[in-house]
Amino acid sequence: MSFAHAQTLPDVYSVVERKLENALPLAEHPHYDAQAPYFELHREILMFSSPERANTLLKKLDFSSKEAMLSLNISADWIAGTGNPDKAMVFLSQIGLEKPSSFSAYKNYVDAWIEKKQPESALKLLMLDNSARNYYLPAVLDAYRDTPDQAVTIYKDIYGDNIIEPTNQLRMLLAIAENRFHNLSMASG
């Protein structure tokens, strides 16, 4: 097969979308319960093809229901969990959300940003939800292990002298102290 011929073949997503349209015409199935396969296709396109293409498909779908929004949120969580939290946040904003809708989803975003050495992005997200912040902040502060003074400043800015989550706050303070001790012993040793 020549290169020119290969370029004219439809891509797999176009083929799947056409087959879906033949089996479940969107005009006859205007609600999420019948459109679930399209949402799966959207997730695949969003992850492995162009965002523009995913948006084109999304505009054809009904995402007004709670179930549809949950499906889209799962897509965003999946994207964040594969190391693309910024792309996931852009997608959330496109569907009208500023943060993940499930508490457990924050872990994907936080872990990905920490792995990318961007704890400030994780912290910015956690500031949108007190419960998620209180739970996931220890991981973010641990990412500042080389700059424990910065971790102390963040901790003080959030909690001051207040005790809100005793166990987590104790873990945070111990981690900061251990990192400070480690950095001091490395500097003197």
Confidence of residue 179 (pLDDT cuts 50, 70, 90): confident
| Residue-level pLDDT at 163 | 93
DSSP 11: P
| Residue-level pLDDT at 187 | 79
Question: Residues 43, 76: contact at Cβ < 8 Å?
Answer: no
Asked if the model's pLDDT at residue 172 lies above 80, the reply is: yes
Asked if the model's pLDDT at residue 24 lies above 90, the reply is: yes
| Residue-level pLDDT at 188 | 76
Question: Residues 183, 155: contact at Cβ < 8 Å?
Answer: no
| Residue-level pLDDT at 9 | 57
Strand extents, DSSP E, 11-103: none
Distance CA 90, CA 102 (A): 17
Question: Residues 109, 122: contact at Cβ < 8 Å?
Answer: yes
Residues 125-139, mean pLDDT to the nearest whole number: 95
